[in-house]
Structure 1
Amino acid sequence: MTNRLPVYAISHGGGPWPWIKDLMPVDWAPLEQSLQAIPSEAGVAPKAVLVISGHWEQHAFTVQTSPNPPMLYDYGGFPDFTYQIQYPAPGAPAIAERTQQLLADAGLPAAADPNRGFDHGVFAPLYVMYPDAEVPVFQLSMLRGYDPAAHLAAGRALAPLRDEGVLIVGSGLPSFHDLSKFGPASSGPSIEFDDWLTETMVEFTGAERSERLLDWAKAPSARVCHPREDHFIPLLVAVGAAEDEPGVRQYHEDGFMGGHTASSGYRIGEPIAAMA
């Protein structure tokens, strides 16, 4: 038996979707149910949730250190009330400081930001997972340039946090993220890449899985699905934090956001409850 928390690579959906489900012609139930399942699936209440969001990149891996992070409404074109949403989860300054030190000890560029707010890659899925906002949450940025090896290395450096009660979540849209092609044009490419990604995440572990992910751009339809890989790279950090452990597809649908797009999310490592 172990107290090591699993790691997740999730799809965070679109904009402030949990607050406008009834205003959109989209069935959010598959994504919503997968996110709602994570707290019980993980097996214990985490001391904190560390989120790597596809909406934050810096010249160093930068840790959000505010004890009470503000909100960052990094979307446009939604109803006025969605710019008043509050997700008042506390931050985790002490764990954030340890996170920064782990990265620095691994020889990675690391920094802190005391002012950064929760972007929607954090507050939208976390609201579904922990609607009472009682669990501390803090963010880690991606490294500008999206070097896959650097993000795998960051995950490896942060793996000890899993034994200390921290739930690590890579938050993006790992199967497909090209806003100009959502709809019929996304169907074939997203299915091709999603099939490759699921095979990689589920059928491979350790160095084999990591090598495939390092060469992700050579996968079928990879650059059609991710012309800019900001929403894919958070998955690399998640994988690095559980590199030698098995993965499962924890979420999947072929009609994401009411369209034709394949979308998946993954858990790496076994839930604590499953080991009791």
Structure 2
Amino acid sequence: MTTTTRMPVYFVSHGGGPCFFMDWNPPDTWTSLGNWLRGIGGEISARPTAIIVVSAHWEADDFSVTGAAQPSLIYDYHGFPPHTYQLQYPAPGAPTLAQQIVERLRAAGLPSQRDDARGWDHGVFVPLMLMFPDADIPVVQLSLRRGLDAAEHLAAGAALAGLRDEGVLIVGSGYSYHNMRGYGGAGERAAAEFDGWLQTTITATAPAQRAAALRRWEDAPSARAAHPREEHLLPLMVAAGAAGDSAGTCVYTDRVWNIATSGFRFG
């Protein structure tokens, strides 16, 4: 009889565009974050059967799921060196899993559809190139839903939680701070305040209280200064919903361009 290891859930800060595959000044700007992402695959106790990535870079009227057997890549960044538009991540898609996701979301009362034409944006392929460089695990991308309602995205994660017991790794891919005007120092205080709240909320509260606090994230210190628009935070809501009763741990924290940056694991 084959047993499947229950997978953890991650929220990763995915950097800026193809940042890990180009030169920066200073040269170590993205080294710490990149090294953490490279270590994630090795810290999971078993090979995932598939990966679901919720990226900040896809919003749809309904929760939408990539359904192609071999999705293309979407180079949705601008002004970067030419070689970054040649990056490849030839992992297979997972049409059967995509349909299961659609059905689970609909059963939870959440509008959902399969999109067989959509490719993977950089919020998917850039971190996965570091996390699972062999590109041999099937991948499905799940969109955010327009309206960006925190409670709805927590519910979407909860609807998918059972897939963890089938060996499916769920990854929220966004950024713990996302205010482009704040990088370089202007947002340092706001980032630190919001990141402190985020770490406490994820790691030091019981799951029910954690979910309640995340629903009211706008009440957190410097919340709107850290996220003028919340699309880079909502993948964390999906991850926390999928976590269920699993405890949360801050498994990465550092400063990038003087901005507090964190990553979390549940379970």
TM over 0.5: yes
Structure-1 residue corresponding to 2:106:
104
Match of 1:170 among 160, 169, 172: 172
Structure-2 residue corresponding to 1:91:
93
Partner Cα separation in structure 1 for residue 252 and residue 21 of structure 2: 21
TM-score relative to the length of structure 2: 0.96
- The 3-state SS of whatever aligns with 1:134 is coil
Structure-1 residue corresponding to 2:21:
19
Partner Cα separation in structure 2 for residue 3 and residue 86 of structure 1: 29
* Compared CA separation, residues 24 and 95, structure 1 to 2 (3 A): farther
CA distances 1:209-251 after superposition (whole Å, capped 9, x unpaired) = 0111011001000000000000000000000011211111011
Shift of 1:27: 2.8
In the TM superposition, what are the counterparts of 1:86-235 in structure 2 within 5 Å? 86-174=88-176, 176-235=177-236
Q: 1:205 touches 1:245 (CA, 8 Å); kept in 2?
A: no
One-letter amino acid of the structure 2 residue matched with residue 42 of structure 1:
I
Match of 1:30 among 13, 32, 51: 32
Q: How many residues align?
A: 264
Structure-1 residue corresponding to 2:56:
54
Runs of 4+ with >6 A deviation: none
Shift of 1:33: 2.0
Shift of 1:189: 0.3
Q: 1:210 touches 1:243 (CA, 8 Å); kept in 2?
A: no
Q: 2:4 touches 2:166 (CA, 8 Å); kept in 1?
A: no
Match of 1:70 among 72, 92, 116: 72
Give me the identity figure in percent.
Answer: 50
Q: 2:251 touches 2:265 (CA, 8 Å); kept in 1?
A: yes
Structure-1 residue corresponding to 2:44:
42
Partner Cα separation in structure 1 for residue 266 and residue 36 of structure 2: 14
- The 3-state SS of whatever aligns with 1:127 is helix
Partner Cα separation in structure 1 for residue 45 and residue 161 of structure 2: 18
Shift of 1:24: 4.5
Partner Cα separation in structure 1 for residue 81 and residue 25 of structure 2: 12
Shift of 1:183: 1.2
Partner Cα separation in structure 2 for residue 111 and residue 18 of structure 1: 32
- The 3-state SS of whatever aligns with 1:250 is strand
TM-score relative to the length of structure 1: 0.93
Provide structure 2 residue ranges, at least 5 long, that are not aligned to the other structure.
Answer: none
Over the aligned positions, Cα root-mean-square deviation in angstroms equals 1.3
Shift of 1:164: 0.6
CA distances 1:78-126 after superposition (whole Å, capped 9, x unpaired) = 0112112111111111111111111011111011110111111011100
Q: 2:181 touches 2:187 (CA, 8 Å); kept in 1?
A: no
Shift of 1:40: 2.0
Provide structure 1 residue ranges, at least 5 long, that are not aligned to the other structure.
Answer: 270-276
Partner Cα separation in structure 2 for residue 214 and residue 121 of structure 1: 23
